[in-house]
Structure 1
Amino acid sequence: MSSAAPRAVGQDHLWSVTEHLEDILATVRPLEPIELQLLDAQGCVLVEDVTVPVSLPPFDNSSMDGYAVRVADVAGASEEYPAVLTVVGDVAAGQAEQPHVGPGQAARIMTGAPLPPGAEAVVPVEWTDGGLGGGPVSGMRAHSAAPDGARGEVQVHRSAEARAHVRAQGSDVKAGDRALDAGTVLGPPQIALLAAIGRGTVRVRPRPRVVVLSTGSELAQPDEELGPGQIYDSNSFALCAAARDAGAIAYRVGAVADDAETLRSTIEDQLIRADLLVTTGGVSVGAYDVVKEALSSVGDEDEPGSGIDFRKLAMQPGKPQGFGSIGPEHIPLLALPGNPVSSYVSFELFVRPAIRTLMGLEDVHRPTTRAILETAKALTSPGGRRQFLRGKYADGKVTPVGGAGSHLIAALAQADALIVVPEDDTSVEPGAEVEVVLLG
């Protein structure tokens, strides 16, 4: 996979959220298309228009269990004066040969079966004496054989217009119609349509393979007993789930201890199955910021701009960030902060758009809207930083959830939106209109 080089700027440059995102999206390239079997293509993006080779339905067929008839033969039929027709045979779905329906005749027909020659309409079994004593199909009366090959008679109690209860050939889609446009994400209905028109494979951009790993000697795995000073690793689970929600195939790597060489070798081992690498933790200015130590010197001397650039962003939470490419294939890597909220917010703002770009989608961002802030007191925000607060959105209103602390994961679990406070605003009053990023 090829990618452009990240933008190179001075080390002291304070990046805006917009600059950092633009740099990522200018660097990441959509994955190359491949041909996949239908079920393997679920969640992928089409790269070409799909036209219909065969009309749907491919032939006129019955939408009811009943009798195929000629319109003239049932004209004026009623309960008191039913039309009495000779039944010349049965027509089932998938049946190759059908009886011919002539004057004064009918053919018993099942839902989905081809309309037999000579027939002009279908009368439901409930409109006939064949419907007495049971439901459709099971209630259709068996007809005794007649010497001329007929199967008895049926009484029809209602008239029918031409084409009544007939699904016309091509009434769904016609041969030559465009079934799906390039850029369509293949969900269950689209897979069904492709199968219905006879397509067993389709050309798509594959779902990106995203490898997520967290760093920190203090991290324990869920279900393990916590030792002194340990916490459970939640970030890698959150980011894997978020990557899958974005449409990727996500692989979670167990937490890596604070050792630069171990982290470097772990990342190198993961390159073979990664279209995108995401790390969490170890990117700020602490003594044990292992990601920064392990990856700052990584790069190809023959490829200017390769390697990882560690940055400070004018945002809260999520000030420390890292971005670049790694390995001979120049796999993009996004290094996120270790605090749970910082990590998740950073994913939504930067990693999700990168994943959607790899998929080849045009709209890569979460939807945004304007909402009225419902809160008892004004929200405060540091000047010069774009703040993202957790919130619950409903009916054009948004309510903050929890505080501004980047460790408040319980509050994050209650949120379905991010409240955006611009860099120039240090306070937002109750009742003010704010921008909201919708996470649901």
Structure 2
Amino acid sequence: MTATADAEAAANELTPLADYLGSVLRRLRALPPLDLDLTQAYGNVLAEDVVAPHAFPAFDQAAVDGYAARWEDISGGGRGPSYVPAPSGTPGGRTIRLNVVGDLGAASWRPVRLTPGSCFSVAAGAPLPVAADVVVPVEWTDQGMAAVEIFRTPKRGYGVRRAGEELPAGTLLARAGTYVSPALVAVFAATGIGHVVVRPSPRVVIVATGDELVDVGRGSQPGQVVDANSHALTAAAAEVGALAYRVGICDDDPEGLRGLLEDQTLRADLIITTGGTGTGPGDMVRRILSRREGGRAGPVTFTDVALYPGTALGFGTVGAEEVPVVCLPGDPGAALIGFEVLARPAIQLLAGAEPVFRPSVRAHLLETVSSPGGLREFRPAHVAERRGGGYTVQPLSGGPFTLSGLAEANGLLVLGERVTTAAAGSTVDVLLLDRRR
């Protein structure tokens, strides 16, 4: 049997990524809903549809600073206004003069009514007088105080915002599954909402495992590897909206690992471990968490998935509360890709967010690339929009294992299990990364 045939046979024994993800995500449920004060709701996901209890605007109001008037008075249809010669250069050769009978600010509350030939000086946001149907901007007048001369006539309704014009009472403001953004907070507040029911942000604990690990702030030495993973995965969890806690490094000690995970179940909705998922002599996480005890399978099942990089992934629950745990490989590149394809969707599902996967586009490939057969590869890439529409994608050098490529990428090029070569000019799938650049 040739080396290629051996590789294909090995790949055929792997679990397809889509099947694995489906089996994992079906075991997760969104966190129980929580009623939060509006000031605390930002960044959470709505657990219920939100309907406006009150209209916005709540009353007829001025949209600009100016003079609230009756349109028939300033258009020449009424009896009230008097006409005076216009300043030099004014279109029409005449202006309209109205009596200013009062001032209205945003804090005014007494109802007032316009009479023919009169107007009120109003500030933006002020309630409109009864019968007013136009606001003449200040700059279209001589800004008079007792009487005002109007040089230009706006259309009927100009400068006026009617009650409920933007959001009538009963309007569906947002559906369940929507992220609460700052603008949405403003909409809720403006329509009289002080509390919303949301899914809490998942509490995610990250643990790096391995006797070889040392903390950051030094260079790696033979027999020592700087722990990049727990820092990177903590940042990745925070980016997706989780409350992320980095526990740090846990040695390959069976009792120590069990005790640490048991302790963390008290404050975690999801635990992520990195390292030790393979079958080598030092891969203690797989050995410890998958071990059968008392005739029962271990709490975590490890699966060899058709994924490149990093085929070995683990999922299960730990502790009396059955807190979900995701076990990712120890290689930093494989750990970050594993987070993207498994841990990130799990966090989104716990948060009640929809959709759980990143958005994707079809893009024009700028460079021919090869891929291992039988594996679904996720490769760092740079995505750009084309002038005529659509996207182009440039694979970044070094492949999926390079941290520098992942740091530069704004997308992940996805090559399916049957793809061994993707030619320049072909159309490929790309996951879009929401990096803030």
Tell me the distance in 1 between the aligned counterparts of 2:150 and 2:377: 73
| RMSD value, Cα | 2.4
Match of residue 26 from structure 1: 26
Match of residue 58 from structure 1: 58
The match for 1:276 among 264, 270, 291 is: 270
Letter aligned with residue 107 of structure 2: G
Match of residue 211 from structure 2: 217
Contact map agreement 2:291 2:297 (CA 8 A) in 1: no
Runs of 4+ in structure 1 over 6 Å off:
none
Letter aligned with residue 178 of structure 2: T
CA offset digits 1:215-248 (Å, max 9, x no partner) = 1233333335656543332211221222222222
Match of residue 87 from structure 1: 100
1:189 and 2:183 matched? yes
Q: Secondary structure at the match of 1:272?
A: coil
The match for 2:397 among 398, 402, 405 is: 402
Q: 1:374 to 1:74 in 2, by over 3 A?
A: closer
* TM-score after normalising by structure 2: 0.86
CA offset digits 1:383-412 (Å, max 9, x no partner) = 322222222222332222123463x21122
Q: Which runs of 5+ in 2 are unaligned?
A: 1-11, 77-82, 88-92, 386-390
Match of residue 322 from structure 1: 314
- Residue 424 of structure 1, CA deviation: 2.8
**Residues matched between the structures, number:** 405
Tell me the distance in 1 between the aligned counterparts of 2:184 and 2:157: 29
Match of residue 235 from structure 1: 229
Q: Secondary structure at the match of 2:397?
A: coil
1:359 and 2:351 matched? yes
The match for 1:246 among 240, 262, 265 is: 240
Contact map agreement 1:243 1:250 (CA 8 A) in 2: yes
The match for 1:110 among 106, 113, 123 is: 123
Report the more deviating stretch, 391-400 or 268-277. 391-400
Q: 1:42 to 1:419 in 2, by over 3 A?
A: same
Aligned ranges for residues 275-424 of structure 1 at < 5 Å?
Answer: 275-297=269-291, 307-375=299-367, 378-395=368-385, 396-404=391-399, 406=401, 408-424=402-418
- Residue 287 of structure 1, CA deviation: 2.1
Letter aligned with residue 30 of structure 1: A
- Residue 208 of structure 1, CA deviation: 1.2
Report the more deviating stretch, 231-240 or 351-360. 231-240
- Residue 17 of structure 1, CA deviation: 1.1
Q: Which runs of 5+ in 1 are unaligned?
A: 1-11, 131-140, 144-151
Q: 1:88 to 1:313 in 2, by over 3 A?
A: same
Q: 1:246 to 1:66 in 2, by over 3 A?
A: same
Aligned ranges for residues 106-145 of structure 1 at < 5 Å?
Answer: 106-130=119-143, 143=145
Letter aligned with residue 279 of structure 2: V
Letter aligned with residue 361 of structure 2: T
Tell me the distance in 1 between the aligned counterparts of 2:100 and 2:424: 77
Contact map agreement 2:202 2:269 (CA 8 A) in 1: yes
Contact map agreement 2:301 2:314 (CA 8 A) in 1: yes
Contact map agreement 1:212 1:253 (CA 8 A) in 2: yes
- Residue 263 of structure 1, CA deviation: 2.0
Contact map agreement 2:36 2:198 (CA 8 A) in 1: yes
Paired-residue identity, %: 41
